[in-house]
């Protein structure tokens, strides 16, 4: 898992649209019910002036965490994308959170977690 975080700093998605914009990964993190497990800020220009700890300390309370865990039961391989309601209307540059639920353990002894890319 640590290797994935290290490689993210070298990775950017090419968005093939009319103006050929590049979409960069701003941050990658893993959250569990017990709190944030690990995060890596890749592009600090895309994140507010808040510290990483402030941004991700209560991530399990966020909608993107709950939706990813809830949707896991419908499709365990799916990603859930969270886009601000006013995206593109008030602010042309906005952050999208892609979340994927993971469960550690087996059967009744499993606990939910989440892997997200911002």
> Reduced to 3 states, what is the DSSP secondary structure of residue 118?
coil
The pLDDT assigned to 90 comes to 75
Pinpoint the alpha helices (H) of 1-118. Answer: 2-8, 52-56, 63-72
Q: Which residue has the higher pLDDT, 92 or 102?
A: 102
Residue 58: pLDDT band (50, 70, 90) is low
- Going along the chain from its start, the domains and CATH numbers come out as 2-117 (3.30.450)
d(CA 76, CA 31): 17
Q: Which residue has the higher pLDDT, 72 or 28?
A: 72
Calculate the CA 38 to chain-centre distance: 12
The pLDDT assigned to 59 comes to 66
């Amino acid at each position: 898992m640590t290797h994935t975080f290290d490689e993210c700093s070298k990775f950017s998605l090419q968005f093939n649209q009319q103006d050929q914009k590049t979409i960069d990964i701003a941050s990658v993190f893993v959250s569990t019910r017990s709190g944030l497990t690990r995060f890596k800020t890749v592009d600090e220009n895309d994140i507010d002036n808040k510290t990483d700890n402030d941004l991700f300390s209560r991530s399990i309370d966020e909608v993107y965490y709950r939706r990813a865990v809830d949707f896991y039961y419908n499709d365990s391989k799916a990603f859930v994308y969270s886009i601000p309601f006013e995206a593109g209307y008030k602010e042309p540059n906005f952050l999208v959170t892609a979340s994927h639920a993971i469960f550690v353990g087996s059967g009744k002894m499993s606990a939910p977690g989440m892997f997200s890319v911002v």
